[in-house]
Homo-oligomer: A and B are copies of this chain.
Amino acid sequence: FGLQASPRDTSKIWELMDSYQGSDKLALQQSIVHHVEYTLARTRFDFSKFHSYQALSHSVRDRLIEAFNDTNLHFHQMDAKRIYYLSLEFLIGRCLQNALVNLDLEDDYREALLELGYKLEELYDEEVDPALGNGGLGRLAACFLDSLATLNYPSFGYGIRYTYGIFKQLIKDGYQVESPDFWLNQGNPWEIERLDVQYQIRFYGFVKKVWDHGVERSVWEGGETIMARAYDTPIPGYNTQNTIALRLWKSHPASEFDFSSFNTGDYFKALEQRQKAEYITSVLYPNDSTDAGKELRLKQQYLLVSASMQDIVRRFKRRKVLDWNAFPSKVAVQLNDTHPALAIVELLRILIDIEQLDNMSAWQIVTKSFNYTNHTVLPEALEKWGVPLIEKLLPRHLEIIYLINFLFLEKVQQKYPNNWGKLSALSIVEEEGTKKVRMANLSIVGSKFVNGVAKIHTELLKTTIFKEFFEMHPNKFQNKTNGVTPRRWVRCANPALAALYDRVLGSDKWVQDMELLKQLEPNVSDPQFVRDFQMIKMENKERFVHWIRKTCQVDLNIDSLFDIQVKRIHEYKRQLMNILYVIYRYLVIKESSPEERKRIVPRSVCFGGKAAPGYVNAKRVIKLINSVADVINNDHQIGDLLKVVFMPNYNVSNAQIIIPAAELSQHISTAGTEASGTSNMKFIMNGCLILGTLDGANVEIDEAVGRENIFIFGTQVEDVDNMKEKMRNTDPHEYFPQELLKVFQEIDNGRFGHNQELKWIIDSIRHKNDNYLVGQDFKDYIKAQQQVDDLYRQPNEWAKKSIYNAIRSFKFSSDRTIQEYAEEIWQLKPIKVPEPAAQMHER
């Protein structure tokens, strides 16, 4: 399987291929119309806006493919070292605008379409958001791909093409309702189905030992085999010919008939068995819930890593001379969290069992090729798989895991003789209860470098959960603070701000080199520049108001402070603290005199985010937010002074509307819980102030923008344990501040409805179980909110600080992150694909 070399002279074909599609108006129109006729097979009497979107997308896809093919060919010819980014999630968002912007064809297409009777921006809205991720981890992977392409790094993303991505969140009577999102129902013009790129994946079966020239070899046989087929989404870089692949795998039944597994001729049973193969890649499982069918999730992980490693090995073997020792100089694999950690074991299996390398050579190659990014410090969030399940599903892999562990523990024993504590902490296999494989330990042992995703997070890794590993291999640990791509999050999401930058800086170079924004520091004292910025924010707020009216049937006061918290709903992220504060604010307004009310800053507090389907407490918080919104928004005494909105189905394309409109954004996790966060970066890039704790990337944002341009509050990480201790040992009536107790009381009294669940939410913290320190931080939070109000009364000051946030955000470009990875972890050099010569543009 896999790609085949051509058996014949195809020079005539390549000669005919040696030209590019034009980009003048007529060429673009012809190309769109070509797809209407030939790809969609439409006739005059049935043609809709959706068809236009499809035809347009296919036209853009053609241009992506030209660059994509050029890139693949060039990397192949240059024998490039490539970085392979393995991730169970990629939240890439809509592709059309991003492609047009990166190809620099947005204006040309806009004009070409206008003559055909279509508005480009209306067609953007026809695109379905491919929802192949749960949250930040998946979106990070997508930002990284954009930076890898833009920075000309030879690279591949590998993931899974879930038939159902993350659920569509609907709100019914204030509750979250999960609706399956069959995102492929409308087709997907952005993927290229690779009928011939497919690999066999085995599950179950047994390991046979055979003797071969005096060497014992393992042969994994029997069980079931299915196929993983590749679907490529071309990822274009900005202002470069380089276009890399996001290769997603889909499971499907094998065509070959396996006589050995043929069971007494029951054809229909056999068919059913086959069909099940399609289930494997069908559902994206939540990363923070135990709902998932465990075995199916492990199958997904193995399918991803097996197909990807087979693909990587095949590509490596296409080199002229086969030299396995060169592998690490041609291949770097990055594991995005531990979900693809079995890749380490799978590569070992391929090298030892298939390529017949000896164990130690194989181990050398593997440990020079892999790297692992950790995304959590919460010990309960570290992934573990029961040994019995692995033994059943992947018997050979379990053997190899034991082998790795044996080799590693021998070294531990050498370094710390008979230190059972060390051995038990470092072992890949957890021996308590049902034996488990610790995927983080496996990842660390099998990797060259391990990194956290923000300074504070990496420090915590070294001192807490991976302390023993850090002591043993201090040089293995690095920090790579996350970043986000300015292409999608400024250039696409905030075209007005981008245009301002272009105009003032004299070019769009900042899109590729965010440090150029430094040059705007003096402009902050230019009143015209500040007014321009304010105008842009106003436009973005208008767009947002319009969208909120359409999706939530709520009218927001455009002059109110737009205060936004969007992210997965999780106790540690403390949406609860936010909504409790909203209640407090509501009560204050209710008690205010008309005179006092005049001084109150109007607020629109907007929440967005999904709760994992099985995460009861998170879902209750959504109910509370909606119950509170119901009361406040319908309270005529309050009017425009306070509005609360829960925006359903937060996703990448909504984020592109929400974030540019935000004036204040909240990132208020308990210190030491959020690894980094990336939406905080997107918000500041769009000129928004942060109200946050010193957690995750907030710490570095604080440094970058300056304490005078951020609202920081709350317990710091070094005090968290003490404060929890205090919480557990203090009478709740003393521990919780009066302001919060009053809020509890109002909820208890039924002010927001007599729903039992509302009390249960409060119960989740008020009985000495406030593990995320809402009560501890609440007073400080109120104070910070006061500062927010005070500043908002000075619009120019607010604007200036917002601008500082935007122009000092350059460190948080994923370009910076990727450059660090490339230099310090992957040892990877950019390779720029040559631009097609001008005369070639004439087809």
Contacts and interface: CB of A to CB of B under 8 A. Distances in A.
B182 A253 contact: yes
Interface size classification for chain A: 35 or more
A391 to B, nearest CB: 25
Nearest to A318: B45
Nearest to A59: B38
Interface stretch (A271-279, A348-356, A539-547): A271-279
A12 interface: yes
B117 A8 contact: yes
A7 interface: yes
Interface stretch (A69-77, A622-630, A692-700): A69-77
A267 B178 contact: yes
A252 B182 contact: yes
B182 A274 contact: yes
A634 B316 CA distance: 49
A482 to B, nearest CB: 29
Contacts of A192: 41
B43 A16 contact: no
A373 to B, nearest CB: 28
Interface string A196-211: 1000000000000000
A92 interface: no
Residue of A5, A6, A49, A54 ringed by the most chain B CB atoms within 10 A: A6
A739 B118 CA distance: 82
Contacts of A4: 46-48
Contact of A283 (B32, B36, B195, B268): B268
Interface stretch (A164-172, A508-516, A755-763, A813-821): A164-172
A118 B49 CA distance: 41
Contact of A10 (B65, B116, B278): B116
Interface stretch (A79-87, A255-263, A394-402, A824-832): A255-263
A270 interface: yes
B182 A255 contact: yes
Given A43-B72, A193-B187, A282-B275, A267 B613 contact: yes
Interface in A87-123: 115-118
Contacts of A50: 195-196
Interface string A28-68: 01101100111001111111111100100000011001101
Given A73-B43, A283-B268, A37 B65 contact: yes
A797 interface: no
Contacts of A593: none
A615 to B, nearest CB: 11
B282 A268 contact: no
A232 interface: yes
Interface of A: 3-10, 12-14, 16-17, 29-30, 32-33, 36-38, 41-51, 54, 61-62, 65-66, 68-69, 72-73, 76, 115-118, 163-164, 167-168, 170, 172, 177-180, 182, 185-187, 192-193, 195-196, 232, 252-253, 255, 257, 259, 262, 265, 267-268, 270-271, 274-275, 278-279, 282-283, 291-293, 613
Given A5-B45, A13-B47, A163-B275, 5 more contacts: A13-B116, A38-B61, A43-B72, A177-B265, A271-B282
